[in-house]
Amino acid sequence: MTQAASKDEPRHYKYYDFIMAAFVVVLLCSNFIGAAKQATIKLPVLGPITFSAGVLFFPISYFFGDVLTEVYGYARDRRCVWAGFAALLFASVMAAVVVHLPPADTGFMHSYQGHLEGVFGDAWRIAAASMTAFWCGSFANSFVLAKMKIATRGRWLWTRTIGSTAVGELVDSSLFYVLAFYGVWETSSIVEVALAQYVLKTSWEILSTPLTYQIVGFLKRREAEDYYDRKTNFNPFSVKLA
């Protein structure tokens, strides 16, 4: 119940495909729906906090990354990351095509075209920033978790889910907002939102620890798998299941 069956006959799992689909959906929605909106809320002690609306949902993708690496191993998490990038690339192409098609000569469409350009006009930049930041952050997260699992011999799950997320989110947050919004937002806003995003995302992981334990435990029992990446090729550009 440690390493997968064999390289020639990779195992098939009951829930892996569902988790991959959920991961891709979260990645697409959090980038295209919430990434560009800044929201401000007032907290009792801290006062006003400005953050990206996508931060409420984007950490779920890291949650899935932790679960995938912990149960199925780094290589299968790597496949999910590439699947998410492919979906994000297609969505970006579709957004660019739709935005640049000439609108029908009606009052509604001229008004709608302006709203469409406001939401999806920078889709390529946001997508490129997201791909770069999430690619780096996600693989950093998965690599740290896989190595920590071996170092702790599978004990203390909370240390590797929180520790790996802290590393991955630091890489992600440091890259995304600079690449996506430098020159569009004020520099002070970029720093403020990126810092708030990092704190909120890491806090989200800490608060979700009990749920992580429940889901990981369920999957390990139902899949009869608890993968240790002792012989894994950690090359992020490979899509092989080893």
Beta carbons of 76 and 235 less than 8 angstroms apart: no
Residue 125 located in a structural domain:
yes
Task: Confirm whether 105 is domain-assigned.
Answer: no
* Tens of pLDDT, residues 162-191: 999 999 989 988 898 888 888 888 888 888
Q: Is residue 229 assigned to a domain?
A: no
Angle at 146 between CA 158 and CA 61, to 5 degrees: 70
Domain count of the fold of the chain = 1
Place of tokens 């390289």: 7
Predicted TM-score (pTM) above 0.75: yes
Residue-range definition of the domain harbouring residue 192: 16-90+118-223
Neighbours of 197 (CB within 10 A): 22
pLDDT digits (tens, 9 = 90+) for 65-85: 999 999 999 999 999 999 988
**In DSSP terms, which residues pair with 38 in a beta bridge?**
52
Rounded to an integer, what distance in angstroms lies between the CA atom of residue 228 and that of residue 174?
Answer: 29
SS (H, E, C) 135-165: HHHHHHHHHHHHHHHHHCCCCCHHHHHHHHH
Question: Is residue 127 in some structural domain?
Answer: yes
Q: Where residue 127 sits, what CATH number does that domain have?
A: 1.10.1760
* Residue 241 belongs to a domain: no
